[in-house]
A and B are shown apart, each in its own frame.
Chain A
Amino acid sequence: MNILLLEILGWFGYLQRIEVRVQLILLLLVFLGQGPLGRRLAPRFPPAGQPKLVISSLLGLLSLALGIGGQPYGLLVLGLLLYLGWLGLGGVRLLLGRFIQPQPMQLLETRLIRPAYLLVSALLVIRVFDNPQDLALIPIGEWFGSQVTLGSFLLAVVILYVLAMGTGPPAQGMAWLVQRSVGISNGSRRALALMIRYAAVAFGIVWALDHVGFNRTAILAVAGGLSVGLGFGIKEVFSNFVSGLWLLFEGSVRPGEVLFIDGDPCEVRSLGLRAAVLWRDRDNAELVIPNQTFFTSTTVTYTGSDTLRRSQVLVSAAYHHDPLEVIDLLEATALSQNRILPNPAPKGLLLRYGDSSIDYALRFWIANPMDNVSICSEVQAAIWRAFRERDIEIPFPQQVQYQVEGPPKS
């Protein structure tokens, strides 16, 4: 590690050279001075108000001037190229945006494209000061019985990062292929994608440890000791992780499933290492629920074996209407609704004789559990119209209050 620090500190020695200082000062002036310069010149020369144009032009012109003067100009050109590359990422975003949805695109950009660009830029900058291949061979310590070099360590970290962040789309693609060939459900496809991703990351970790050259026996010994400590220290995290894996294999809480949480149907959006994210239709809220919760408590799902849900609405009719007529009307009304499944057929039921009305229930089946509330609303509105057309009265309790005189005054 000391060698690495000395190596990095050594780069500052290049500042002994006037040519290097000149280039760095010019870079500094361009990046810091373009703002005030642009503001001053913009009223007379509008393009000067565009920082991107000003920086690129100034760096280009200064490089040219130094080159013509026979002076080194490579640092300015490097600065220009890196700046243009950074601006070019906007074009990449626009291009990919045509094929990728905004949210995945944003993740791809922030987690993969821009970090990758920064990494490449850093390597390019290092390359002019030092030899990255040479730096990569610098030992940074002896871990688990083997000497770890900077290069192998960083490569392992980068590969792991890319696997963790970038395996989503390929895993989804593979799961999609499996779905097309085997015919699994959408929920299973999502679960399969997640499992492929976890498997890739797991293999990546094993590969990274192997690549870095860790002694496997030592790792096992340390892992054994650590697991006891971690088991006490952050057992909740492990519990949630293991619960998440179990739930994936079990298939009860997979992305796309609909669960009942506090009386509301919620769709599982993702099942992470620690928690599941569910979307609640009622208020467009996202619920982050630790995986362990599903593992230890009862979970109501409408998408376990199929996605059908039996729903019902309650309605009352006056005593003087024939119940059979009311039930027929309720069932006919339900069948007239598009989003109610004809099979299993809707069923009207007389529930009980109430104080002021006969209470009925209309039970019916719907395809999408998440649509329950809106379908119930539609059905109740249709019942109201049907009752009005057939002059069926929906009674409501009436109360007549009489004022009774009090007891005679003594």
Chain B
Amino acid sequence: MKLIAAGLLLPLVASLGGCQGQRLQPMLRPLEGTLYIVIGVSQEAMDTELQKEVRERTALLQASFRSLQPRVRLQVETFNEESLRNELFVRNRTGLSPDLLLVNESTAQELARERLISTVSFPAVVLDQLEAGSVVRVRRADGTLTGLPMELQPLVACFDQRRVRRSPATLTELLALSAKGMEVGLSLDAVNLVWTLGPLGAIDAVGDLLAGAPVTPAMRTSLNGWLQWLRAADLQQRVTFYPTETELLKELMVGTLDWIPCRSINITRLRSRLGRNLGVSPLPSGPFGAASPITRERVLAFGVNSSPHQRQLALALARFAISPLHQRDMVLRNQFVLPVNRKVAPPVSSSSVVAAMVEGRRQSVQSSTLRLVGKTSKSQRDAWQALLTRFLFDDLSQQDALNGLIDLLDGERSR
């Protein structure tokens, strides 16, 4: 009992000491204290290397921010983004929620809907710096924001230049190169496979179904064409479908795969292993148009338990994170994300990687369907993945897979 009491007493005494110190500060004292930041990552991607990357990125932000506020410390935690809802449900009730969360825009929307994060307001002068589309997506009906857009992570093609001299420009070329020996890896995850919808002419069908349009023969034909291509790709000896992007990355790093679609943020890890042999280019197009990848938008959301002082600190950090200074820093220091600040122009001409990322971003903003797919829940994406897995394993005929896919998209719309 005494031990428990002593354990509780020590930090309290320490905190009271801190309070006395604060009282001595002038009113306009510099900000100080610890800011708790949670970074959402996918469960299968969590490992020491990712944690190291996350810490390095945060250290960069902290170092820059400290030039303005030298007494601020950032405490970073990585969490499985899918289970963040449950985590916040517990932590908000203990008073220990994070001050800031760097999560996907769709996750922030979901958390805000359940009141697990605080919505915030920023003056127009701050928001005007950002891409209008990004701001619109985080703005709620009451004018507040679910979070502040911070960075963009487009989907690009990553390949090993020792085996692939030039990334295929079209899907036909992709299969042709695969037939000649290039090992191709594709992900069955909806968000990471949706880029193939555009080149194969199925993007509008998916968009219309998600938007609630009735099923037409033309939609069935286009979706059938997409499934047919997937089956044809799967029948290729050197095209392999994997459940997650993490596995694709690992296989590319160990040399089992030569070409994969990858999220730009993962280029850091790939480059640390493959070095100059890593090639990055836009995803291939097809007979019906350009690739249709989803660009992940990361936003800074705000926790509900922050003290007024911590909230002030969090707002200051968020403003700093979207400032041209930091946004430019992010791009120039090879963090492989795109800025949301319009004043920062990515160096397209000096870096082919940045050019590919910008092209990936451009492809993704062309279709509103991608936003609808990006907003689907994990259970819906799991159902999509299960359906395609059964189809590719010949457990479902093409007709059954088509019907299942239409039901699934139709069901998502009715939700």
Binding site for B on A (CB under 8 A): 3, 7, 10, 12-21, 23-25, 27-28, 31-32, 71-75, 77-78, 128-131, 133-134, 137-139, 147, 149
Q: Which of A7, A78, A147 contacts B75 (CB 8 A)?
A: A7
Is the pair A24, B94 in contact by a Cβ cutoff of 8 Å? Answer: no
Interfacial residues of chain B within 115-135, with CB under 8 A of chain A in the complex? none
Q: Is B380 an interface residue (CB 8 A)?
A: no
Q: Which of A15, A72, A73, A134 contacts B79 (CB 8 A)?
A: A134
Known: A24-B12, A78-B94. 19 other contacts (CB 8 A): A10-B36, A10-B73, A16-B307, A16-B310, A23-B94, A23-B95, A28-B5, A32-B5, A72-B95, A74-B96, A128-B91, A128-B94, A128-B96, A130-B77, A131-B77, A134-B51, A137-B47, A138-B51, A147-B48
16 chain-A/chain-B pairs, Cβ below 8 angstroms:
A3-B55, A12-B14, A13-B73, A14-B96, A23-B94, A23-B95, A24-B12, A28-B9, A73-B93, A74-B93, A75-B94, A77-B93, A130-B77, A134-B77, A137-B48, A138-B51
Tell me, in angstroms, the Cα distance from A24 to B15 when the chains sit together: 11
Is the pair B8, A28 in contact by a Cβ cutoff of 8 Å? Answer: yes
Tell me whether A75 and B77 are in contact in the complex, defined as CB-CB below 8 angstroms, given that A12-B14, A21-B12, A138-B51 are known contacts: no
Q: Is B34 an interface residue (CB 8 A)?
A: yes
Q: Which of B46, B77, B92, B309 contacts A72 (CB 8 A)?
A: B92
Report A20 CB to chain B, min CB distance, Å.
Answer: 5
Using Cβ atoms and an 8 Å threshold, which residues of chain A touch B73?
10, 13
Using Cβ atoms and an 8 Å threshold, which residues of chain A touch B1?
31
Binding site for A on B (CB under 8 A): 1, 4-5, 8-9, 11-12, 14-15, 18, 33-34, 36, 46-48, 51-52, 55, 73, 75, 77-80, 87, 90-96, 305-307, 309-310
Report A64 CB to chain B, min CB distance, Å.
Answer: 13
Using Cβ atoms and an 8 Å threshold, which residues of chain A touch B79?
131, 134
Report B239 CB to chain A, min CB distance, Å.
Answer: 33
Report A115 CB to chain B, min CB distance, Å.
Answer: 15
- Among residues of B, the one whose C-beta sits closest to the C-beta of A7 is B75
Report B214 CB to chain A, min CB distance, Å.
Answer: 46
Report B372 CB to chain A, min CB distance, Å.
Answer: 31
Is the pair A27, B34 in contact by a Cβ cutoff of 8 Å? Answer: no
Majority secondary structure, B binding face: helix
8 A-B pairs with the lowest CB-CB distances in the bound complex, closest first: A13-B34, A74-B94, A72-B95, A15-B15, A19-B95, A10-B75, A74-B93, A137-B51
Tell me, in angstroms, the Cα distance from A3 to B78 when the chains sit together: 14
Tell me whether A12 and B11 are in contact in the complex, defined as CB-CB below 8 angstroms, given that A137-B46, A137-B51, A149-B48 are known contacts: yes
Using Cβ atoms and an 8 Å threshold, which residues of chain B touch A20?
94-96
Tell me, in angstroms, the Cα distance from A131 to B36 when the chains sit together: 12
Is the pair B77, A74 in contact by a Cβ cutoff of 8 Å? Answer: no
Tell me whether A16 and B95 are in contact in the complex, defined as CB-CB below 8 angstroms, given that A25-B12, A31-B8 are known contacts: no
Report B305 CB to chain A, min CB distance, Å.
Answer: 6
Is the pair B51, A31 in contact by a Cβ cutoff of 8 Å? Answer: no
Is the pair A17, B305 in contact by a Cβ cutoff of 8 Å? Answer: yes
Tell me, in angstroms, the Cα distance from A333 to B95 when the chains sit together: 86
- Among residues of A, the one whose C-beta sits closest to the C-beta of B14 is A12
Tell me, in angstroms, the Cα distance from A24 to B34 when the chains sit together: 19
Is the pair B8, A24 in contact by a Cβ cutoff of 8 Å? Answer: yes
- Among residues of B, the one whose C-beta sits closest to the C-beta of A149 is B48
Is the pair B33, A13 in contact by a Cβ cutoff of 8 Å? Answer: yes
Is the pair A16, B33 in contact by a Cβ cutoff of 8 Å? Answer: yes
Using Cβ atoms and an 8 Å threshold, which residues of chain B touch A19?
95, 305
Tell me whether A133 and B46 are in contact in the complex, defined as CB-CB below 8 angstroms, given that A12-B11, A128-B91 are known contacts: yes
Report B267 CB to chain A, min CB distance, Å.
Answer: 21
Report A333 CB to chain B, min CB distance, Å.
Answer: 66
Report B96 CB to chain A, min CB distance, Å.
Answer: 5
Is the pair A18, B307 in contact by a Cβ cutoff of 8 Å? Answer: yes
Using Cβ atoms and an 8 Å threshold, which residues of chain B touch A28?
5, 8-9, 12
Tell me, in angstroms, the Cα distance from A285 to B68 when the chains sit together: 74
Tell me whether A75 and B307 are in contact in the complex, defined as CB-CB below 8 angstroms, given that A10-B73, A137-B46 are known contacts: no
Using Cβ atoms and an 8 Å threshold, which residues of chain B touch A16?
15, 18, 33-34, 307, 309-310
Is the pair B75, A13 in contact by a Cβ cutoff of 8 Å? Answer: yes
- Among residues of B, the one whose C-beta sits closest to the C-beta of A72 is B95
Tell me, in angstroms, the Cα distance from A25 to B77 when the chains sit together: 26
Report A268 CB to chain B, min CB distance, Å.
Answer: 40
Report A339 CB to chain B, min CB distance, Å.
Answer: 55
- Among residues of A, the one whose C-beta sits closest to the C-beta of B80 is A133
Is the pair A128, B90 in contact by a Cβ cutoff of 8 Å? Answer: yes
Using Cβ atoms and an 8 Å threshold, which residues of chain A touch B47?
137
Tell me whether A131 and B78 are in contact in the complex, defined as CB-CB below 8 angstroms, given that A17-B306, A72-B94, A75-B95 are known contacts: yes
Using Cβ atoms and an 8 Å threshold, which residues of chain B touch A133?
46, 80
Is the pair B77, A15 in contact by a Cβ cutoff of 8 Å? Answer: no
Using Cβ atoms and an 8 Å threshold, which residues of chain A touch B12?
15, 21, 24-25, 28
Report A374 CB to chain B, min CB distance, Å.
Answer: 50
Using Cβ atoms and an 8 Å threshold, which residues of chain B touch A7?
75
Report A139 CB to chain B, min CB distance, Å.
Answer: 6
Using Cβ atoms and an 8 Å threshold, which residues of chain B touch A14?
36, 95-96
Tell me, in angstroms, the Cα distance from A8 to B208 when the chains sit together: 51
Is the pair B310, A17 in contact by a Cβ cutoff of 8 Å? Answer: yes
Tell me, in angstroms, the Cα distance from A128 to B96 when the chains sit together: 7
Report A80 CB to chain B, min CB distance, Å.
Answer: 13
